[in-house]
Amino acid sequence: MATDAYLERGVASRKLEVAAAVSKLDPGLYPGAFCKILADLLGGRADHCGIMHNDGPGTKILVAYILWRKTLNLDFWRGPVRDGMVMNIDDLICVGALGPYFISLSINRNKHLISGDVIDVIIDETNAFCKFMTSLGIECHYAAGDTADVGDNTRTINIDYTFSTAMKRSEVIDASRITNPGWIVGFYSAGRAKWETETNSGVGANGLTSARHDLLNKTYKTAYKETYAPETRADLIYRGKYLLEDPLRMDRSWTVGQALSSPTRTYAPLVKEILRVIPREKIYAFIHCSGGGQTKIGNFGRKGLKYFKNDLFPPPAIFRELRLAGNLSLERACQTYNMGHRLEMVAADMETAEDSIKISKSMGIDAKIVGPVLQNTNPSVTNVYIQSGDEWASYDF
């Protein structure tokens, strides 16, 4: 795949235009934190802070849409609910915010294509997932929502969640504290954690625009014209070899549909346990490797650091397949997908890194030190360096 194909499909992994727009706003109490943090304006507590966060499943919801249209199985809509909620929760845990969360759901749909029973399932699963997370010690309260029938500007359906919470300022994990020396711990994105009921492919909810179009074949281009922007270049639309029901060549225990729709794992129970055992001052940061994939960390920490990732996990089958299907360089693959770990922690010392690995493995998630934090040769530039076998990629921030 050409290096600009992600942009040609209308998506940007680093979202530079968004970054330029928000740079004009108040950066909050902790400008270098993973999430924007404000004063506790509602509670009025000087020792607390408030956080509001919004996210959703993105175009991954279109995989559920096609699967539903093909099978009429409404349960396919439960995955995007979990994707959208986890994308919020797993950003919030990166600053140490473990709830309770108040949650609002916004649904925009094309009523001609999305029936009322789909809305029923989305709302039901939102409530069910709140109860599930609460049972794991991550308290979630479904507070409000809105559904708009806006077929003129929504081709199929879009769902987004807004999470609000407050926390003690003394407990904030501020990623601006990252310095060298440090150790980057990666927490594997595939497999089955103790709280999961099924094995996870590791796919997450980022990069699905390219994943769909690179894996799925041209029959979907004609059958589901509503699932892509008509402005997209024709040669970039559904140009793969697979049907959703086909087995994944790299691991035939998965179908392509199962691998692409596997619900995004939440690492919240793991982070909660790590923070219970390890003092927060020994943790420089948690990084949710979502938009920007393995390069996300480059946006955080002081300038002049090199994040040297030279021992990543072997990529799960879905990512090996995506690299092959899209003809992706290591540079492009690591910027688009999580490639094997969707959460990482920067530890202040080796003992902290090793303790977090033990905790993770005890909870069913493989973990390892994927590389060190070093001093960059240029003190004004942050660099992410990734090495995999004989391949390497470098990114400047």
Residue range(s) defining the domain that contains residue 144: 26-171
Q: What is the rounded CA–CA span in Å between residue 333 and residue 344?
A: 17
pLDDT tens-digit map of 144-182: 899 999 999 999 999 999 999 999 999 999 999 999 999
**231 domain residue, yes or no:** no
For the stretch 127-159, what's the b/e string if a residue is b when 16 or more beta carbons lie within 10 angstroms of its beta carbon?
eebbebbeeeebebebeebebeeeeeebbbbbb
Q: How far is CA 216 from CA 80, 236, 325, 371, in A?
A: 19, 11, 10, 34
pLDDT tens-digit map of 240-277: 999 999 999 999 999 999 999 999 999 999 999 999 99
Q: What is the rounded CA–CA span in Å between residue 77 and residue 262?
A: 12
Peptide bond into 263 cis (omega under 30): no
pLDDT tens-digit map of 352-380: 999 999 999 999 999 999 999 999 999 99
**262 domain residue, yes or no:** no
pLDDT tens-digit map of 199-244: 999 999 999 999 999 999 999 999 999 999 999 999 999 999 999 9
**202 domain residue, yes or no:** no
Torsion of CA 216, 222, 227, 231, to 10 degrees: 110
pLDDT tens-digit map of 317-336: 999 999 999 999 999 999 99
**38 domain residue, yes or no:** yes
The whole-model pTM stands at 0.95
| Contacting residues for 328 by C-beta, under 8 A, at least 6 apart | 1, 322, 336
Kind of pairing between the strands at 305-309 and 383-388? parallel
CA 138, distance to chain mean position in Å, is 18
**148 domain residue, yes or no:** yes
Q: What is the pLDDT of residue 203?
A: 98
Say yes or no to pLDDT of 285 above 90.
yes
**353 domain residue, yes or no:** no
Confidence of residue 3 (pLDDT cuts 50, 70, 90): very low
Sheet (strand 38-39) strand order:
38-39, 48-55, 157-168, 101-109, 140-149
The CATH number linked to 71 is 3.30.1330.10
How many structural domains comprise the chain?
1
Query: Do 360 and 366 form a contact (C-beta atoms < 8 A)?
Result: yes
Please provide the average confidence, as pLDDT, over all residues in the chain.
95
**366 domain residue, yes or no:** no
Confidence of residue 279 (pLDDT cuts 50, 70, 90): very high
**219 domain residue, yes or no:** no
Q: What is the rounded CA–CA span in Å between residue 382 and residue 397?
A: 5
